[in-house]
Structure 1
Amino acid sequence: MHLQGIEHVVRIPEWHLTTAEILYRMPDHPAVLQSFIWQKVDRAPTFPELHGFLEFWRRGIEGQLHSVRVASAALWRPAEFTYAEGVLRLH
């Protein structure tokens, strides 16, 4: 059974939407940086899908990687609130 693309239907625990901004050097003009946005459901903090894509990039694409910036829904947690036990009034 082919399961690719089913992640938008089935929620898999510990797998969250991950976005990576990849900066790479243009093959013809190494001084120029180009931006590429990659987005997929991946598992934080190991990011196996992203690492696989970056390995593919290193082997198959001429543009040399400069930097990768990652944002994942798993890295952001809801704010934790603590209630104050008293009130401080000014004026």
Structure 2
Amino acid sequence: MSTDSAFEKQLAGYRLATAEIFYHLPDHPDLLQTYIWQDYDIAPQYPVLKKFLDFWSHELEGPLHSVRLASQKLITASELRSVGAFALN
């Protein structure tokens, strides 16, 4: 039986991070567009988001303007407890 990778990440200290990315449209640089990005990441460094923003800066045409970030830890140690065991046939 495999464990869900999102659950494993949460147990390892990852939190759900949501970034609202504002960027300039390549054909109309005076206009801003938004992009919503969401993934599991580690606060306060946010290496997954930094990797994505680095990719954006080097590979995509819309120059970044700003980023708003929100994150929430979904599982804490006090919320995780054993509820018993069961067997499957």
- Residues in 2 aligned to 1:12 and 1:71: alpha-carbon distance in whole angstroms: 19
Q: Which runs of 4+ in 1 moved over 6 A?
A: none
Task: Give 1 or 2: higher helix fraction.
Answer: 2
In our comparison, the structure showing a higher alpha carbon Rg is 1
Deviation of the 1:20 alpha carbon: 0.3
Task: Normalising by structure 2, report the TM-score.
Answer: 0.72
**1:1-91 alignment to 2 at 5 Å?**
6-7=5-6, 9-10=7-8, 11-74=10-73
Identify unmatched segments of 5+ residues in structure 1.
75-91
The aligned counterpart of 2:77 is none
Percent of matched pairs sharing the same residue: 48
Query: TM-score scaled by structure 1?
Result: 0.71
Q: CA deviation at 1:13?
A: 2.8
In the alignment, structure 2 segments of 5+ residues that lack a partner are 74-89
Aligned residues: 69
RMSD value, Cα = 1.4
